[in-house]
Amino acid sequence: GRARVLSEPGVQYPAYLFGGPKADLQLKIPAGVYTVEWLNPITGKQSQSQLTHREGLLTLSSPHYSPDVALAIRRVKPPTGN
């Protein structure tokens, strides 16, 4: 499959994944608390979670999808102490 990723560094990271059925993404993003939302553009089905990330590489595994899936990663807040 393929992926298109945009970014507003430190704020949000939307992506669109083509071709399914599953993908592992690695993104270098700053530390903080993020919401992760997967969206099936055909059915409208969404799944959302929240994660705390330490500085460095973030690895995400997509849900199974066909043919495409959209992803939105949004920073909720910076790490405590910053």
Q: 40-75: b or e for each residue (b if 16 or more CB lie within 10 Å)?
A: eeeeeeeeeeeeebeeeebebebeebeebbbbbbeb
Q: Residue 79 above 80 pLDDT?
A: no
Q: Residue 10 above 80 pLDDT?
A: yes
The rounded mean pLDDT for the chain is: 93
- Confidence label for 7 from pLDDT (cuts 50, 70 and 90): very high
Q: Residue 20 above 70 pLDDT?
A: yes
- Confidence label for 77 from pLDDT (cuts 50, 70 and 90): confident
Percent of the chain with pLDDT over 90: 87
